Amino acid sequence: MNKEEIISELKTIIQPYSEEALALESIDENTDFIKDLKVNSANLVDIVLDIEERFKIEIDNDSMAKMLNIKSTVEIIENKLQVNGG
């Protein structure tokens, strides 16, 4: 799965937790979950759990700590997928 495909999956995952339709439509690496997408901090846990289910990966606490924007989230998913695949 490449970066664009991961971002497109993320868009679907985040959609139920963000009312910022415009910001969500134009997400890129710099999009911040809380500042730009106005995701409630208690729903960030849901996003992490949805990512685990969708990509069949496990996100540890240190990785979750960095998951505040699209860029670091994509990097974490890419790394975990690589570990799983390798």
Q: Which lies closer to other proteins via its Cβ, residue 17 or residue 24?
A: 17
Give the 3-state DSSP-derived string for the chain, with helices as H, strands as E and coil as C: CCHHHHHHHHHHHHHHHCCCHHHHHCCCCCCECCCCCCCCHHHHHHHHHHHHHHHCCCCCHHHHHHCCEHHHHHHHHHHHHHHHHC
Q: Which lies closer to other proteins via its Cβ, residue 68 or residue 81?
A: 68
Of 4-12, 22-30, 34-42, 77-85, which part binds other proteins (CB under 8 A)?
Answer: 34-42
Q: Which lies closer to other proteins via its Cβ, residue 43 or residue 71?
A: 43
Binding to other proteins, residues 40-69 (CB under 8 A): 40-46, 48-49, 52, 61, 64-68
The yes or no reply on residue 19 touching other proteins (CB under 8 A) is no
Q: Which helix (H) or strand (E) holds 54?
A: helix 41-55
